[in-house]
Structure 1
Amino acid sequence: MIIKYCPRCKEHRQASKKLDLWRLPEVLVIHLKRFQYSRFMKNKLETYVNFPVDNLDLSAYISYGNDKPYRYMLYAISNHYGSTGGGHYTAFVHHGGDQWYDFDDSHVHPISKEKIKSASAYVLFYRRCFE
């Protein structure tokens, strides 16, 4: 519950916020919160997020003019390993079919689709499917 000051009635009241989506981009970038800062400490969050790979359907979230599907396919993942003081970044990139590649500095290796989801996923890159 959110309590906010109402400038009309000059009282503190329960408030709600609403966000309407009218259209979505061709490329969708989702940044997962992996770092938590407080007044006294910095922490890296290692929470596993089970994100969709093949069919992220956002059609239900379009408020107006929802006459076409808004489905997305994952095509890349940026990963972060390490702590807030330092770390290492890698990427998993889709190359058609079920073929994914692991980019780690100067090394590139195939990786199975089953291994691309991890608690190190940091930024997700989706491309809209046009049907």
Structure 2
Amino acid sequence: YYDFGTDDAIINKNLLYRHKQVREEVQNWFVYHIGTQRRCLILIDLLWAEAARLQDLPPDDLKAAADAKINSGKKNRIRIEQEHFLLNSSISYLRAKRLSNYLKHSEYKKYFWSKGLSKKKLEKLDKEWTEKLLARYN
């Protein structure tokens, strides 16, 4: 929510407008280059998995991503395997599996021994983040 009567609000409004312009330009470029699009999606998935593994993101963002990956996680893992086989030989099957398995860091765990995010741990992290934020403002 912005109070459009203040200078900060005008600056924020200008930043939002510039962000929208950049986003539209990137989207146009992104749509027309299919190979680049696939590789960018893979890179985004890998970066998100690394951020989830290191817990660099707020727990709410991790939860939202894990919820989205309930439906898209398998598709993303297949995409990275297909791209790996397209660019490399089929000899490196284990490397493709390792890369696709790495994406599981940003998904919910299916079993307690598997890679991924634990719902209980996310709740605990959420409480810790909330306490840190409240302590900063109190």
Q: Which TM-score band applies after superposition, normalised by the shorter structure?
A: under 0.3
Could you tell me the TM-score, scaled by structure 1's length?
A: 0.27
Could you tell me the TM-score, scaled by structure 2's length?
A: 0.26
**Which of the pair is proportionally richer in strand?**
1
